[in-house]
A and B are shown apart, each in its own frame.
Chain A
Amino acid sequence: MNAWIPRAAVLTAVLAAAPATAWAHLERPSYWPDPKPDTAVQPAAGGEVPSARSLATAVTGAGPGRVRVVCQRNSLTLALRSIEVARKDGFRIRPSQPERKLSRKQARRLAAINRSLKRRCRYDSIQAAVDATRNNDRVVIMPGRYTEPRSREQKTNDPRCNPSLLQNDQTGRPTPSYAYQATCPNDQNLVHVLGREVKGQPLTPPRGDRHGIPEQELGACIRCNVQIEGSGVIPEDVLLDAGKDYERPLDPQDKPGGHAKHVVMRTDRTDGLVVRNLLLRGALEHGFYTEETDGVLLDKVKFFWNADYGHLSFTTDHNVIQNCDAMGAGDAGVYPGASPQTGDFRNEEFYPEKRFNSVVRWCDLHGSTLAYSGSMGNSVRITENHIYANTAGISSDTLSAPGHPGFPADGLQVDHNYIYSNNLDLYGSNPPIEPLVPMPIGSGIVWPGMNGGKVFRNYIFDNWRHGTVLTAVPDQVAGDPEGNVDRKTHCTNTQLASTSCGNVYEDNIMGRVPPGFTWPTAVGKFGNRTGDRDAKVLPNGVDFWWDEFPGNNGNCWKGNTGPDGTAGSVTGSGAGLAPDPLPGDCASSMGTGDVVKEGVLIDCVTWYDFKDEGQYPLCYWFRMPQRPGTPAAARDRRAWQRTAQAFAHSADARALRSKLRSAGAVDAFTGRHG
C-alpha cells in the first residue's frame, strides 16, 4: 500500500494509469528521416525499401560498389559442410517452416561462390571491412563465429567520448550523440555502421518537430546502399556474437553466461541498408539496432539471446524485417519503435501518401517475454508470422516515453498471422529468460493505447489467458502532448483519453487450429505449455478482452468466429460480471466502463495488492493460467467471480466510479456491477 496517500485516492489515481506499460527505451533526441530518396548518391539512397543483391553477384565484379569478404581460416570448410548437410539432410530457415533440401545444382553453385569468396577474402574482422566500406559497397561474411576481439577490447564509456561527446537533451541531460557513435563505434557495439558523415553540432535544444533530421547535422552519405550478408546456407552459419561464457559457443542455440558488448550490430543513418543471412547473438541490450535510417531490409536474420531486444529500429522508415527468427529476448524479439507517423493524421507535406512505414513478415517470434513490441509503433504492419511460446505475443503501446516521437500510436495492422500458445511463464523462480518487463502470461495481443488499429484474418488460439487485450492509456498517463504529435486522434471524446479508439477486430478465427497446421518443435521450448497438439479446437482463455474505458469510441468486433466455427462461440469482452457484449457496430461503439476490469488493471500494473488486505485478489496476470476447458479452469473462474463480486460492491469500487463520473464520464459504470 502506498503510504503517501489514502487508499481511496490510490484507487482513483491509478485507475487511469493501469495500462501504462512502458516497454520503451532511452534514446538520443531522434528525428524521422526525410522519406524522399537522397539523390546525392547514385543510385539514390532511401525513399523505398532497398532490394537485396544476390550472393552470386558478389563474385562477378560487376558492381555496383566493391565487395569486401570477411572469413576465418576454416570458413570454406564450414561452408562446404553446411552445403553438404543442406543437400543431403535438409535445412530450415525458421522453426515453423518445412524442411527443404538444396538441389545438386544449387549446392554446386553455392560451393563455387564460397570458393571464389575465399580467394577474395582480405579481412578477418567485420568491423574492419565495414570501416573500409563506402556507398554501394558490400560486405560478405563467410561461415564462422565472429567475436570481433578488437571491438571487445574497446572500453565502454570510453573517455575519448564520454563525457565530451554526450549530447544534451532539452533538459540538459546527457545521451550519446551521433558523433559519439562515430568516434567510439565499439564503445557499445560489436559492429557499428555509420551511414553519414558527422556534420555540425546537434541542435540544442532539439527541434520539437521531428520530421526530418536537421540540415545542420545531416552529413553526406558515406555508407548508404550498403549490403552486409552471410554466405552460408542458413543464418546460423554466420554467427556474430557479443556474448561470452558459453558452455557450447559454437551451438547457435546456446545461451551466453555473460555479455561482452551492449549491441551486436548498430547502424546509424544508413539509408538503403540490406542485412541478410546471419545470426546476431548475445548482446547485453540489442541484437540489431538502427536509428534514423531511411530504407532497411533485414532478410533471413536471426536474433538469439539478446537480453533486451533482438531487433530494434527507431525513427526508421521504409523498413522491412522478413524471414526472421527471434528468441531469448528479455523484452521483445522485434521492436520497431517511434516509427514515422505515416497514417491517418500524418503531415501530408512530409508524407504525401498514407502507407505502412515498417513491415514485419514471415518471421518466427518465440521464446521471449514478448514477440513484438513498439512504443509509438505507428503504421506498422505485422503479417504472415508465427507468434508463439512467449509470455505475451504482440504489444504496441502509447506511452510517451522519453524520446519517442509520434504520440499517439496509431495505424498498427496485424493480419494473416498465426498467434498461438503464448503461455511462457517467466515469473517463477530461475526463469530461462530474465524478463525485463511485466506482461500477462498467456496473451496473444496486448494493446495499451492503440488507435485506428486493425486485427483481421488471424488464427488466434491456445493463448490460455487472453486472445487479445485492448485497454486505454488515458492522457494523464501518457503525459501532456504538445508540438510533435498528431493533429487529431481517432478519439472523439477526449474527456479522459485520446487513445484506444477506432480499433477493428474482424474475421479472425479464434480458438481453432488452422487446417493442416504443423506445430514447430520450438513451441515447447523453455517449458512453454500448449493444449493437445492433436486437437483441432484449442480455445483461448477469453478471445477478446476490452476494458470498455469510458468514452472510448469506434472499437468494434465483427465477423470473428469461435471454437465451434460460429460467431456465437466467440468469448469477450472479458471477465466482468455483466453479459459484456462486444460491439459489432464501429460507428456506435462507446465504452461505458467496467469497474471490475479497472480494478484488475490497477492491481496488476501498479502492484496495488488487494490481497494484502485479504479482500480482492484481482490480479491474475502473473499467475500461470489453467488450460481453458479444464475443471481447474472452471474452478478458477468461479473463484474469480466471487472476488469480482466482492470488489464490485466495495468502497474502493464506489470511489472509482465516483471519480470517473466527477471527471466527466457521466455514464461511467452506470448499471454495471452494482
Chain B
Amino acid sequence: MASARPITAAALAAAALGLAACGGSGDDEAKPLGPQLGGSVAPLADCGDWRGGGKDRKLATIEDIRNQVNRTDTHVTSPPLSDEEAMQLFDGECKRSYARGFRLYVLYARAAGFAPLLREESPFRR
C-alpha cells in the first residue's frame, strides 16, 4: 500500500473542516472548490467547479478528495494520486464539455486505484 502523501496543514484544515474562508488571500486560495457538505467538498465537487479554480484551490480540492477516497476504513486500500497526477487527471477530463457534471471523486477513485500502473516502476503488483 502506498503511503499518504505529505500535505499542507492549511489545505488539510480547509478541506476537512471547511474553515478556510474569510481573511487574506492565502486562506482564500486554500479553500477547496465546490460546495462543502459534512466537512468535505468531495461528495459534490464536479468538473464545473474545477474549471473555475486557481492552482491553490485546485490543490486544496485534490487534498480533500484524496483524504476521502484513500481512506482505509473499508480495509480496501487504493494508493493515492500525487498532486501532479490528480491535476492532470482533472484538467484533462474536465475540459470536455459533456463532463461538466462529472463528480471529481468519481474520476479520482477510478484513477487512484491504478495510479501505480501509470508510473514507471512495477506496474503489476504480483
Q: Which residues of A (91-144) have their CB < 8 Å from a CB of B?
A: none
> For the complex, what is the distance from the CA of A188 to the CA of B97, rounded to whole Å?
29
Kindly provide the distance from the CB of A437 to the nearest chain B CB, expressed in whole angstroms.
6
- Chain A residue numbers with a CB within 8 Å of B107 are 22
Inter-chain contact A173/B68, CB cutoff 8 Å = yes
The count of A-to-B residue pairs whose CB atoms sit within 8 angstroms is 204
Which residue of chain A has the shortest Cβ distance to B40 in the bound complex? A174
Q: Which residues of B (1-52) have their CB < 8 Å from a CB of A?
A: 1, 4, 16-18, 36-40, 42-44, 46
Kindly provide the distance from the CB of A14 to the nearest chain B CB, expressed in whole angstroms.
7
Most chain B beta-carbon contacts within 10 A, residue among A180, A482, A659: A482
With contact pairs A4-B84, A26-B43, A435-B102 given, residues A476 and B117 touching in the complex (Cβ less than 8 Å)? yes
Inter-chain contact A482/B96, CB cutoff 8 Å = no
Inter-chain contact A663/B73, CB cutoff 8 Å = no
Inter-chain contact B116/A476, CB cutoff 8 Å = yes
Most chain A beta-carbon contacts within 10 A, residue among B40, B100, B118, B119: B118
- Chain B residue numbers with a CB within 8 Å of A4 are 84-85, 88, 118-119
- Chain A residue numbers with a CB within 8 Å of B84 are 4
- Chain B residue numbers with a CB within 8 Å of A15 are 117
With contact pairs A2-B118, A22-B110, A622-B98 given, residues A496 and B74 touching in the complex (Cβ less than 8 Å)? no
> For the complex, what is the distance from the CA of A605 to the CA of B85, rounded to whole Å?
16
Kindly provide the distance from the CB of B96 to the nearest chain A CB, expressed in whole angstroms.
7
- Indicate whether B54 reaches chain A with its CB closer than 8 angstroms: no
- Indicate whether A407 reaches chain B with its CB closer than 8 angstroms: yes
- Checking A170, A399, A482, A485 against B110 with a beta-carbon cut-off of 8 angstroms, the contacting residue is A399
- Chain B residue numbers with a CB within 8 Å of A10 are 118
Inter-chain contact B110/A21, CB cutoff 8 Å = yes
> For the complex, what is the distance from the CA of A284 to the CA of B37, rounded to whole Å?
12
Kindly provide the distance from the CB of B113 to the nearest chain A CB, expressed in whole angstroms.
4
- Chain A residue numbers with a CB within 8 Å of B70 are 171, 402
- Indicate whether B78 reaches chain A with its CB closer than 8 angstroms: yes
Inter-chain contact B113/A157, CB cutoff 8 Å = no
> For the complex, what is the distance from the CA of A400 to the CA of B78, rounded to whole Å?
8
Inter-chain contact B118/A26, CB cutoff 8 Å = no
Size of the chain A interface, CB-CB below 8 angstroms: 81
> For the complex, what is the distance from the CA of A647 to the CA of B14, rounded to whole Å?
46
Over the window 94-126 of chain B, the binary record of Cβ atoms lying under 8 Å from chain A Cβ atoms (1 yes, 0 no) is 001111111101110111011011111001111
- Indicate whether B60 reaches chain A with its CB closer than 8 angstroms: no
Kindly provide the distance from the CB of B124 to the nearest chain A CB, expressed in whole angstroms.
4
- Indicate whether A24 reaches chain B with its CB closer than 8 angstroms: yes
- Indicate whether B62 reaches chain A with its CB closer than 8 angstroms: no
- Checking A6, A14, A20, A484 against B75 with a beta-carbon cut-off of 8 angstroms, the contacting residue is A484
- Chain B residue numbers with a CB within 8 Å of A285 are 43-44
- Indicate whether A17 reaches chain B with its CB closer than 8 angstroms: yes
With contact pairs A20-B113, A163-B39, A402-B71 given, residues A663 and B124 touching in the complex (Cβ less than 8 Å)? yes
Inter-chain contact B37/A262, CB cutoff 8 Å = yes
- Indicate whether A220 reaches chain B with its CB closer than 8 angstroms: no
With contact pairs A22-B106, A437-B102, A476-B124 given, residues A174 and B114 touching in the complex (Cβ less than 8 Å)? no
Inter-chain contact A22/B109, CB cutoff 8 Å = yes
- Checking B73, B78, B125 against A169 with a beta-carbon cut-off of 8 angstroms, the contacting residue is B73
> For the complex, what is the distance from the CA of A405 to the CA of B119, rounded to whole Å?
28
- Checking A20, A162, A434, A435 against B39 with a beta-carbon cut-off of 8 angstroms, the contacting residue is A162
Kindly provide the distance from the CB of A410 to the nearest chain B CB, expressed in whole angstroms.
15
> For the complex, what is the distance from the CA of A481 to the CA of B123, rounded to whole Å?
17
Kindly provide the distance from the CB of A486 to the nearest chain B CB, expressed in whole angstroms.
12
> For the complex, what is the distance from the CA of A605 to the CA of B116, rounded to whole Å?
17
Which residue of chain B has the shortest Cβ distance to A262 in the bound complex? B37
- Indicate whether A9 reaches chain B with its CB closer than 8 angstroms: yes
Inter-chain contact B68/A434, CB cutoff 8 Å = no
Binds B, one of A82-90, A421-429, A566-574, A586-594: A421-429
> For the complex, what is the distance from the CA of A13 to the CA of B125, rounded to whole Å?
12
- Indicate whether A176 reaches chain B with its CB closer than 8 angstroms: yes
Which residue of chain B has the shortest Cβ distance to A448 in the bound complex? B110
- Chain B residue numbers with a CB within 8 Å of A16 are 114, 117, 124
Which residue of chain A has the shortest Cβ distance to B96 in the bound complex? A607
Kindly provide the distance from the CB of A477 to the nearest chain B CB, expressed in whole angstroms.
4
Q: Which residues of A contact B (CB under 8 A)?
A: 2-6, 9-10, 12-17, 20-26, 29, 156-157, 162-163, 166, 169-171, 173-176, 180, 188, 205-206, 208, 262, 284-285, 330, 399-405, 407, 426-429, 431, 434-438, 475-485, 495-496, 605-607, 622, 659, 662-664
Q: 8 A-B residue contacts at CB 8 Å? A: A157-B18, A169-B71, A400-B113, A402-B74, A407-B74, A429-B97, A476-B114, A664-B124
| CB-based closest 8 A-B pairs | A483-B75, A174-B39, A17-B114, A13-B117, A434-B101, A176-B38, A400-B76, A427-B98
